[in-house]
Amino acid sequence: MTVKIILALAYLAVVFYLGYKGWRETRQASDYMLAGRQMNPYVMAMSYGATFISTSAIIGFGGAAALFGFPLLWLTFLNIFVGIFIAMVFFGKRTRRMGVALDSHTFPELLGQRYQSRFIQGFSGVVVFLFIPVYAAAVLIGISRMLEVSLGINYYVVLLGFVAILAFYVITGGLKAVMYTDAFQGSLMLVMMVILIIFTYSTLGGVTEAHQALTDLAPQMPASLKAGGMLGWTQGAKPFTPLWLVIYTTIIYGVGIGVLAQPQLAVRYMTVASDRQLNRAVLFGGIFIVLMTGVAFVVGALSNVVFFRDLGKISVAVAGGNIDKIIPLYVTKIMPDWFEILFLLAMLAAAMSTLSSQFHVGGTSLGRDFYEKGLASGGRGELRMTRLGVGVTILVTLVWGLFLPPSIIALATAFFFGLCAASFLPAYFLGLYWKGMTKLGAVVSMVGGFATSFFFLLFVHTKESAAIGLCKAVFGVDSLAQSATQGSGAWLLQFTDPNIIALPVSLILAVVVSLASPKMDQKHLQLCWRNL
Amino acid sequence: MLGIASPELALAYVLCIAASVLCIIYGIIKWNDSGPLTEELRDLNQWAPEGEGK
């Protein structure tokens, strides 16, 4: 225990030093919001990756991989190909150049200025500010529960202490402090995951041997999962069964595509000085992500073989049904003792790097996008307002953290990613590539995508609608889709991610309304495209 | 393939590695390709004709 506490303190000392370095180098609003647009490519890539990959990806989704097996590797593929390659090459470069042309400081500001709309900036800011605390709270709950078990400290003390440390360096040091600490935290995560995968494959006798053992374990798949359509961990699920829909629409499509419209990630493209940093970040990011979600999902799935060999039970049974406990239990029961300490620090790092960026983007959304620009309150005291915004985001997250139920990590992540994709993705993508995209098209697409996604979350997609309870209160059922004929397309909607409907709706609205509405001013478009 | 029962899931495993390799190759090939610097873009905006620049 003493070693654990000493190492945790050493880790925090480095974080505080980097936070202090960020604070010292922060003099103006562009330092606070965009790290002075001069960030090193390694720091940018690690910060992007460490923000992207939180405890949700490793513990929440690693646990989901223990349940569903290798189908989750499609998510890793999308994380790398879409989340890194497409994101940086096709979104990142244009975002940086247009961001400079329009002097944008945040993702909502880029959208607002591209479409010359205070409403768009204010609306985007409000969506981010209102919903990012839910996602942040899920990350906060995950790490606090873990520290409670591992260090034996009271859950509420951990929750408050954790938030106080983050508040200290995010409020004072802005994005520079966030990115410096992210890079350190990402490096720590990288070392831990490399050890985890090498240990797991070697304990099972090699790559093919380990996979074969998991294949042979298929008869042990729980009956409830088989009834939902699962065939085995390396066999996948029967197409269009309820579990197939959960895996492929919510987890893979929702999170895999949703990454493109994440405000806390998109803002990082604007922190570098040229395309060179983005090109190099593609290399670092590609390696980082495969070692994060790739390792977490493979180890999560293979944990079934190891647990069955050593304890005679598959992972979900060892964890008593709570999939968020599977990866921590694997580390405690299977990995060497010294690794447990490294894992704990890496999970601290994963949570802190994601939370710091969530707090920062929530704060800039409230201070800069909603208050200053959306309400047109002028530029006086902009840094103070943004710092205040960060403080408010942290408080709201803390409140959510006290009330959200357990086993919420993967769900809340998918919820935020999905909502961002439906609201922002068509307006963002078409705004970068299509001069014919108009202000009205963007407004209708954003509001329509948000409303559709939200309607499905409240009244159709059972996982959220049952938890929220509004559908039950109004209509007496958990989901409106339950009243349809069992097995029909309408009935299956209760298992289908809201974005399967909401994203195409948002895209169609963007294109149709833009074609039918007045074109934007040519001079403004020339300015937007000046650097592209 | 690779001990994975479903060919579709074996493909997912291989594609994860292939996508990572693609990122590495792209990063190496474009290592020094900087495009216009942010500073240069800013200067360009400052000298833009009235109504176009900041």
Q: By the 8 A CB rule, do A448 and A509 touch?
A: yes
Q: What pLDDT does B38 receive? A: 63
Number of A–B residue contacts, CB under 8 Å: 145
CA-based nearest distance A312→chain B, Å: 22
How many domains does one find in chain A? 1
Would residue A532 count as lying in a domain? no
**Mean pLDDT rounded to a whole number for chain A:** 89
- A162 versus A375: the higher-pLDDT residue is A162
pLDDT tens for A411-426 read 777 778 888 999 999 9
CATH code for position A213: 1.20.1730.10
- Answer left, alpha or beta for residue B50, where phi above 0 means left and psi between -120 and 50 means alpha: beta
Q: Mean pLDDT across the stretch A146-165?
A: 84
CA-based nearest distance A92→chain B, Å: 13
Q: What pLDDT does B49 receive? A: 45
Cβ contacts of A190 within 8 Å, gap of 6 or more: A288, A291, A292
Q: What pLDDT does B54 receive? A: 36
Q: Please tell me which of the candidates B16, B39, B53 has its beta carbon nearest to residue A76.
A: B16
Q: What pLDDT does A402 receive? A: 84
CA-based nearest distance A342→chain B, Å: 25
Residues in chain B with pLDDT < 70? 37-54
Per-residue pLDDT band at A117 (split at 50, 70, 90): very high
| A430/A381 Cα distance (integer angstroms) | 33
Would residue B21 count as lying in a domain? yes
Q: Please tell me which of the candidates B13, B20, B54 has its beta carbon nearest to residue A80.
A: B20
Evaluate if residue A325 carries a pLDDT over 50. Answer: yes
Phi, psi of A321 (to 5 degrees): 95, -15
Would residue B51 count as lying in a domain? no
Q: By the 8 A CB rule, do A114 and A98 touch?
A: yes
| A64/A11 Cα distance (integer angstroms) | 29
Helix (H) or strand (E) holding A231: strand A230-232
Query: Could you give the angle at the alpha carbon of A266 between the alpha carbons of A250 and A89, nearest 5°?
Result: 95
Q: Please tell me which of the candidates B3, B33, B39 has its beta carbon nearest to residue A273.
A: B39
Would residue B36 count as lying in a domain? yes
For residue B29, give its domain range.
Answer: 7-46
Interchain pair A523, B52: CB under 8 A: yes
Q: Choosing among B1, B2, B11, B13, which should be mutated to test the A contact, i.e. which has the most A CBs within 10 A?
A: B13
Interchain pair A71, B12: CB under 8 A: yes
Q: Please tell me which of the candidates A215, A283, A290 has its beta carbon nearest to residue B16.
A: A290
Interchain pair A100, B53: CB under 8 A: no
Would residue A270 count as lying in a domain? yes
Q: Please tell me which of the candidates B15, B38, B48 has its beta carbon nearest to residue A100.
A: B38
Interchain pair B3, A208: CB under 8 A: yes
Would residue A438 count as lying in a domain? no
Q: What pLDDT does A35 receive? A: 80
Taking an 8 Å Cβ-Cβ cutoff, which residues of chain B contact chain A? 2-6, 8-9, 12-13, 15-17, 19-24, 26-28, 30-39, 41-42, 44-45, 48, 51-54
How many domains does one find in chain B? 1
Chain A residue with minimum CA distance to B32: A276
Q: What pLDDT does A485 receive? A: 85
Evaluate if residue A306 carries a pLDDT over 90. Answer: yes
ipTM for the complex shown: 0.87
Interchain pair B16, A527: CB under 8 A: no
Would residue B15 count as lying in a domain? yes
- B36 versus A508: the higher-pLDDT residue is A508
Per-residue pLDDT band at A409 (split at 50, 70, 90): low
Would residue A469 count as lying in a domain? no
Would residue A483 count as lying in a domain? no
Evaluate if residue A107 carries a pLDDT over 70. Answer: yes
Q: Mean pLDDT across the stretch A30-51?
A: 85
Cβ contacts of A177 within 8 Å, gap of 6 or more: A18, A19, A20, A21, A22, A23, A26, A169, A170, A356
Tokens of A206: 């090699």
For residue A180, give its domain range.
Answer: 2-404
Helices and strands of chain A, counted as H and E runs: 28, 2
Q: What pLDDT does A106 receive? A: 93
Interchain pair B19, A214: CB under 8 A: no
- A504 versus A272: the higher-pLDDT residue is A504
- A446 versus A275: the higher-pLDDT residue is A446
Would residue A455 count as lying in a domain? no
CA-based nearest distance B40→chain A, Å: 10
The SS3 assignment for A115 reads: coil
Would residue A72 count as lying in a domain? yes
Per-residue pLDDT band at A258 (split at 50, 70, 90): confident
Q: Which residues of B touch A285 (CB under 8 A)?
A: 23
Would residue B40 count as lying in a domain? yes
CA-based nearest distance A74→chain B, Å: 5
pLDDT tens for A366-391 read 888 888 777 776 656 667 888 899 99
Would residue A241 count as lying in a domain? yes
Cβ contacts of B14 within 8 Å, gap of 6 or more: B1, B2
Q: What pLDDT does A248 receive? A: 83
CA-based nearest distance B47→chain A, Å: 12
